[in-house]
Amino acid sequence: MEDSIEVILQDAGRVFPLSTPHPILSACTGALLAGLYGVWSLFAMPGCRKIPWRLKVPYLPSSKDQTLNVMKLLEGRTGHLADLGSGDGRLVFAASSAGFQCTGFEINSILVAYARSKALWTGVPPNQATFVKKDFWKTDLSSYNNVTAFLAPGVMELLGEKLLKELPDDARVIACRFPFPNWPHQSSAGSSLNETFAYDISAVRSHLRNAPNTAA
Ligand SMILES: C[S@@+](CC[C@H](N)C(=O)[O-])C[C@H]1O[C@@H](n2cnc3c(N)ncnc32)[C@H](O)[C@@H]1O
């Protein structure tokens, strides 16, 4: 005869005791997790505390493929490049070796120190790669004709507005993984998590001028 559902649940309770966890144990686990998060955020996001919650972007390094995709979309370009949130500097180093004069803006002082020391020990001259500990939202980007950004989906619309206000008409913007909403891209490279998008500011401006209900 088949067991009733009550018998099956009783048996399961014997094998996997279904008692509620002890409240002190729960409180200790909660406190431990909160502490670990605090220590992690101290190292992963120092400086980020001054940034409004909705604009916070954690550190996540670009993959090798992503970096190659960025470089592919910068082919034929020259001049000044800003990497917004430069992390350990990998995009800046790749672009500087292709001849760009690069500035990496980074809010995390540990990552800035790491990128600066890497530039020193690999002999990259400061006019090719500079790392600035600065909030890019508070930085005028009008002197850059190339901009790269690997950030987060929630900040792309606001970033688009800032770049449209500040960048020169001949600027190109490369967005890693997260495209700008409502901007037409000129080209893209890679797929899935490594997909990277290139936007020419003059084309974006004329698209938005001609699109109904949008302001360029
Ligand atoms: C997803 S990581 C990308 C790092 C690097 N560009 C790369 O591709 O490996 C984003 C970086 O942006 C930095 N960041 C976030 N908000 C920033 C801000 N307002 N100003 C400067 N850096 C910021 C974070 O600290 C983090 O290092």
Q: Give mean pLDDT, residues 168-187.
A: 98
Do the domain assignments include residue 155? yes
What is residue 162's predicted lDDT score, i.e. its pLDDT?
A: 98
Half-sphere exposure of 112 (CA within 13 A, CB side): 18
The average confidence (pLDDT) of the chain is 88
User: Domain containing 152: what range?
Assistant: 64-210
66-99: buried (b, 16+ CB within 10 Å) or exposed (e) per residue? bbbbbbebbeebeeebbbbbbbbbbbbbbbbeee
Whole-prediction pTM: 0.81
Residues 20 and 97 in one domain: no
Residues 27 and 69 in one domain: no
Residues 138 and 76 in one domain: yes
Do the domain assignments include residue 55? no
Residues 124 and 185 in one domain: yes
Cβ atoms of 215 and 175 within 8 Å: the answer is no
pLDDT more than 70, % of the chain: 81
Q: How confident is the model at residue 1 (pLDDT cuts 50, 70, 90)?
A: very low
Residues 22 and 93 in one domain: no
Q: Which residues line ligand 1 (CB under 6 A)?
A: 51, 57, 59-62, 83, 85-87, 90-91, 105-108, 111, 135-137, 150-151
What is residue 58's predicted lDDT score, i.e. its pLDDT?
A: 94
**Angle at CA of residue 206, ends 156 and 141, nearest 5°:** 45
Domain total in the chain = 2
CATH of the domain at 171: 3.40.50.150
Do the domain assignments include residue 142? yes
| Rg of the chain over all Cα atoms, to the nearest angstrom | 24
